[in-house]
Amino acid sequence: MNMIEVRNITYVYPGEGKPVLKDLSFCVEKGGCLIVKGDNGAGKTTLFRVLNGLAFPVKGQYFFDGTEITEKWLGVSRNSKLFHKKIGYLFQNPDTMLFCGTVYDEVAFGPRQMGLSDDETDRRTRDCMELFGITDLASKAPYHLSGGQKKRTALAAVTALNPEVLVLDEPFAGLDRKSKELLKEFLKEYHEAGKTLIAAVHDENQCELPAGEVLELQVV
């Protein structure tokens, strides 16, 4: 059973003539791991925006867990909630996804949105902060953190949602050796638990991911 199926998608940024993704097709089965590679500008981030319903291809189809994801379908709030509960997205630049007053609130944001009880929210928030070694930073403002600390906060925030599918855009970039090890161990366990993983990495970090299929994007 495919968790993700992309059929011949072409993506063109509004106002641009040249497509960034052209006739791209691939599948990721439930519990699979897809490693996305490609030079700077090859379209990895663009593809991830499409997979997360933040951009829509001009041609082709995208199916998530059997449902075709379109702007119209996601326009229905019930659909959009369901979709975003199942897929978690780590942006390449954590600055674009951190907006709360404290690290604790940032990590608790997703569980609260999902309507979990205060106890369950607190438990998940603390677990995820522990997982990425940011417990000591709980009351700090994300805005004032170092680059690597921001990345770890963003990682804790997406994993707090415990999504079926994790889409990670260069998750290891900017992390020190110890944080890389924590993330590597987390991804291994996540994968072993039968969840689906899609990650963009450059060569030097590929060995930090569970074994998976490789999709190599080319600069068009």
Ligand X SMILES: Nc1ncnc2c1ncn2[C@@H]1O[C@H](COP(=O)(O)OP(=O)(O)OP(=O)(O)O)[C@@H](O)[C@H]1O
Q: Return residues touching ligand X (CB under 6 A).
A: 13, 16, 20, 38, 40-46, 92
Could you give the string, one character per residue 66-105, with x where binding to Mg ion holds by CB under 5 A and - elsewhere? --------------------------x-------------
Judged by beta carbon distances under 5 to 8 A according to partner kind, the member of ligand X, Mg ion, none in contact with residue 199 is none
For ligand X, the closer CB: 13 or 99: 13
Q: Does 45 bind Mg ion (CB under 5 A)?
A: yes
> Least distance in Å: CB of 48 to Mg ion?
8
> Least distance in Å: CB of 75 to ligand X?
21
Q: How many CB atoms are located within 10 Å of the residue 99 CB?
A: 11
Burial of 23 (0-12, 13-18, 19+ CB in 10 A): exposed
What span, in angstroms and rounded, lies between the C-alpha atoms of 102 and 108? 10
Q: How many CB atoms are located within 10 Å of the residue 140 CB?
A: 16
Element (H, E) at 106: helix 103-113
> Least distance in Å: CB of 51 to Mg ion?
13
205, 202, 204: which is closest to 216 by C-alpha? 202
> Least distance in Å: CB of 43 to ligand X?
4
> Least distance in Å: CB of 26 to ligand X?
15
Q: Does 162 bind Mg ion (CB under 5 A)?
A: no
Report, in angstroms and rounded to the nearest whole number, the Rg of the chain calculated over CA atoms. 17
Question: Which three-class secondary structure state does DSSP give residue 18?
Answer: coil
For ligand X, the closer CB: 36 or 103: 36
What span, in angstroms and rounded, lies between the C-alpha atoms of 15 and 96? 23
Q: Which amino acid is at 112?
A: R
Pick left, alpha or beta for residue 116 (phi over 0 → left; psi -120 to 50 → alpha; otherwise beta).
beta
For ligand X, the closer CB: 187 or 215: 215
> Least distance in Å: CB of 41 to ligand X?
4
Q: Which DSSP symbol is given to 92?
A: S
How many residues of this chain interact with Mg ion, rule: CB under 5 A? Answer: 3
Q: Does 179 bind Mg ion (CB under 5 A)?
A: no
For ligand X, the closer CB: 13 or 181: 13
Residues that bind Mg ion (CB under 5 A): 44-45, 92
